[in-house]
Chains A and B, each alone.
Chain A
Amino acid sequence: MPNATTSGGFWRWFHGFGSPPRFDAFARHSVPWLAGVTIVLFAIGLIGGLVYAPTDYQQGESFRIIYVHVPAAWMGMLVYVVMALAGAITLVWRMKLADAVARASAPIGAAFTFLALVTGSLWGKPMWGTYWIWDARLTSELILLFLYLGYMALTNAISDRQSAARAGAILALVGLVNIPIIHYSVEWWNTLHQGATVSKFDAPSIDTRMLIPLLVMALAYQFYYFTVLLMRVRNELLSSQRRTQWVQQLLVNEKIA
């Protein structure tokens, strides 16, 4: 079996990218660009969704909450998948960067999930007639929020970093089964929440003029996540490795520059 450090291609990239100094340089240079793209995408998506998209034939203007609610719900799930993958890498490769990614992702994912729950609830009152119902979609989404909060509580409760990383990784992986449940809940069981509009096999059942701002908003949310993730991971790595030579060196360079 080839040794990981000497074998080429993917593994060399994988281990190289995982090294904190390399990652730090990458994050330092890409954050301003990512932040710029995020702002532009949010501007296009919000103006397109709130001003230019036509009103819905049934819901009127109220449907516009879709531009905040749906991308937030998607991101809540995407961030969780990233967190669980980072958890698996933590368990298998013991990579510090992976743990930093998982830790940095949890509050962001929790915020997205919370936003999806709140906006959905505010829409539910006038449209459905209730703020909340214990159907499979809403309940599994609430469980997702609790998984994020549980992950944050668990990793912060254990003071030893390695044990905290492993315990958190296992929790993140266990919670991963909830993700397909959230997605398919509206198909497997009968629920009050409507079925999938965009991510189904046949054409999306939404008018193109409404769909485009929605996709732009989804992209904006993703760029927002990557921007904040890189900033948070960088912080995390710098603080946990503040005694290492490369961080000291960086501090000296920053002072000179």
Chain B
Amino acid sequence: MATSEPGPPRREVTVPLLRRVEGEGGLRLGFSDGALSEVALEIFEPPRYFEAFLVGRGALEAPDITARICGICPVAYQTSSSLALEAIAGATLTPEIAALRRLLYCGEWLQSHALHVFLLHAPDFFGCTDAVELAQRDRGLVERGLRLKRAGNQLLETIGGRAIHPVNVRAGGFYRAPASAAVAALVPVLRDALEDARAAAEWAATLHYPDLHRDYRLVALRGAGAYPIESGAYVAGPDGLAVSPAEFAELAVEHHVAHSTALQARLGGEAYLTGPLARFAHNRDLLPPLAAAAADAAGLGAICTNPYRSLLVRCVELVAACEEALRLAEAYVPPDPPAVSLRLGQGRGFGASEAPRGLLLIGYATDAEGDLTWARITPPTSQNQLSIEGDLRVLAEGGASLSDGELAQRCEAAVRNHDPCISCSAHFLDLEVTRR
């Protein structure tokens, strides 16, 4: 009977289902002989083939179809899709339409950031299982989060027609401009929300954050004179990178890895990070005044590379979103017409906007009839996966002496730092069917 030498002691730490993230994923750490040998953020949601089934559809259908990827950030998908089609058509929005688009997008930031900060992320800082347990400890905190989220819902309901998957957005603008009175009714709601957001930033500045600093390669839109939300002047990145979304699409190369149904993007072959830390780093000087003051008061410098403190940066961005939304609502002039018309022929275009959790890049190609012949959708979580795995690697290497449970809990919380939207990320580019 053959015998074999015993292999090196192997230890595996597995979190089969990540909690308090959007979508379904897990993580796996492997140690051999005490040394970290494997880190995998496992995304196992079924791929959904959006890029494949968009082909052949009329291009003007694309914003609504693409937005079905996510119920948390549909405005981001509608906006990046619209920008891509507007690029193909060479269309320019009127200032009134552009302002309304930004106002709508502020609502999504409020919804998403409030949900993540108060209901999904904050429990980690108090050792709570979830928001219900957190509410037992600090009722006012969770109430504040729900009020902010509700303000975001009201913005989307008023401008978009409903709070989830708004129906009023089209390439070139909107189907109908909301009445002035309806937008004016948002002003007191947004004033209250602004106070809640400022209080949230003050609260977030008091939290104890683990001391972890990472050498991220940060990528975000650089705002065109304002903090980037619905658009930007260009994509900014490491080493002075400043490129158009179309150029960035050439540089950000997506790969398939065995442990994930999401593609992983690399920039120059390396990991990079999008999201609030990246936006802040490239645009701190463009924060509106109250948000800038909140950042100063919280002790945030020019750049923040501690992933745990993304909660604090998100709170600063909540202030920015409220401040911008209030300014836009007070100055609202109904766009007339509510959309510019697009003449779509053969072409190819890219659009990029800042989804709450990071840069969302979308590209389409159209034929002479204006039907889609190609689509590329690169969501933030695909771009952030490698950097998240980098965080896990650092934590696992420093925490090898922890019990499996402690290490799993620490790593799971580290994933939540980046507010991953796993459902968004899970779609392959190509579907090949061979019939014999």
Partners in one complex: no
Chain B contacts to A: CB under 8 angstroms:
none
